[in-house]
Structure 1
Amino acid sequence: MARRNRVDPFGDLHAVPDHGLFTGNRGCLVNEHGELVRHHRGLLWITCVLEYKDWKSPLSAPRHWTPLFFLDDAVALAAGHRPCGLCRPAAYRSYKEAVSRARNTDAPLSAAELNRSLAADRLKPGRGMNRSTDRKTWAANIDRLPTGTVIVDDSNRACVVMPDEIRAFDFGGWMTPEPRPDDQPVMVLTPPTSVAALSFGYQPLLHPSVHELRANATRPTNPYVR
């Protein structure tokens, strides 16, 4: 039986078998019985490689961080996570340097500064396990958005922005390509901090499906589309 540890672009957790390209965490989310009891804990929301040295991560152990899984960097960034500085040092360095360039800071931002910035970007006040309705979105012209940004379309689908197309999210991969609108305002799900990183040089690792023509794919059903 699949655990409820797969993250959608809105940041909510689902029990599906697909694991994707990355793991990560946002603190300990389980109680002493290993039951999922919280959406997140703390400001540190990171994305990690699936294998690092010979470390083994706890699946639901209390008092430890709880592993989560993401389709790719675009989903993880949209959900409000950033690259881990320990297991993804090059990606983390690229991310923080890109954000620092965007803000024209005298020195690269610290991990704590990035965490606070992302926390301010992510959620409105609220509580509970499902927080998609609490997500902060913001408006931008799609022509100004870099590749890897995730937007919310008129059907409330999370879609990744590519140079000439958009693709809706599914846990198995990005869906069939659709024309990218021109010069149009859209609602952006990826936090401004991470869009700044994408705009100033951070290269996201995207799932291979983003380059496939999935002609037989069907659109995801609830709860993935809201």
Structure 2
Amino acid sequence: MTLQNRVDPFGKIHAAPSRGLFMGNRGGCFHRDDQTLKPTHWSSRQWIICVLEFKGRRRKLMQPGLYTELFFMDEATALAAGHRPCFECRRAEALAFRAALMTRKVFEDEPSASEIDSLIAGEMQARIRHNLPLAFIDALTLPDAAMFEHQGKAWLKWQDTAFAWSFSGYEGAMALPRGPVKCLTPSATLEALRGGYLPTLHPSFNRLAA
């Protein structure tokens, strides 16, 4: 059985066969003993992005009472979905992400992980819980590696090109749309990207961008 644990850039969780480059979680357990998801798809605001392998640890997925493992096609996908780098298994990236937020004056003082979570995962939870509409932003003003919706699909913005997202990688490219688009990446994460944080992108991006 393909488990419902693959996250798209809209923050929704699907059953899809493609595993992706990263795993993560949403702060605890929100699956049932039969490995199906409960109605609320998070346990707290600790939405993190983790590596697939760390210190030889091995897990059986969706064990009763333990945190619900999630998987992301790449880091830009996870960021768009409201997650941030883990301070344990991706500490260097987490520190760089926090520094980028401070560079952009999102925080005046060095924030704790929980303060970052309250801002970013908090925005996503409010968006999902209250079905808030996505903000329109001029595509040209988006930072590289931000994601947006166009014609019902998710796209990655990189320079003047848009790359079509899928669970297995980027499937094609087109010129960046002119004018407003619906932004998927949370507002604070946009600032981290503007502040110099560079997420890991799927190898298909390099093939299309070459």
Is the TM value for this pair above 0.5? Answer: yes
Cα offset for 1:135? 5.5
Answer whether contact 2:127 2:133 (CA < 8 A) is retained.
no
Q: Kindly provide the amino acid, as one letter, of the partner of residue 181 in structure 1.
A: P
Q: Which residue of 2 aligns with 1:143?
A: 140
* Structure 1 residues without counterparts, runs of 5 or longer: 128-132, 215-226
Does 2:93 align with 1:91? Answer: yes
Does 2:168 align with 1:212? Answer: no
Q: TM-score, normalised by structure 2?
A: 0.91
Matches within 5 A, 1:47-196: 47-103=49-105, 105-124=107-126, 134=131, 137-153=134-150, 155-182=151-178, 184-196=179-191
Equivalent position SS for 1:96: helix
Does 2:11 align with 1:15? Answer: no
- CA 1:22–1:186 in structure 2 vs 1: closer, same or farther (change >3 Å)? same
Equivalent position SS for 1:90: helix
Cα offset for 1:41? 1.2
Q: Structure 1, residues 156-181: CA drift from partner, whole Å, max 9, x if none?
A: 11100011210121111112110113
CA RMSD of aligned residues (A): 1.9
Q: Kindly provide the amino acid, as one letter, of the partner of residue 33 in structure 2.
A: E
- CA 1:34–1:7 in structure 2 vs 1: closer, same or farther (change >3 Å)? same
Equivalent position SS for 1:167: strand
Structure 1 residue runs of 4+, over 3 Å off? Answer: 123-127
CA distance in 1, matches of 2:122, 2:14: 24
Answer whether contact 2:87 2:94 (CA < 8 A) is retained.
yes
Q: Kindly provide the amino acid, as one letter, of the partner of residue 50 in structure 1.
A: L
**Which stretch has the larger CA shift, 17-26 or 139-148?**
139-148
Residue identity (%): 37
CA distance in 2, matches of 1:148, 1:125: 21
Q: Which residue of 2 aligns with 1:35?
A: 36
Higher strand share: 2
* Structure 2 residues without counterparts, runs of 5 or longer: none
Cα offset for 1:207? 0.4
Answer whether contact 2:143 2:157 (CA < 8 A) is retained.
yes
Answer whether contact 1:23 1:50 (CA < 8 A) is retained.
yes
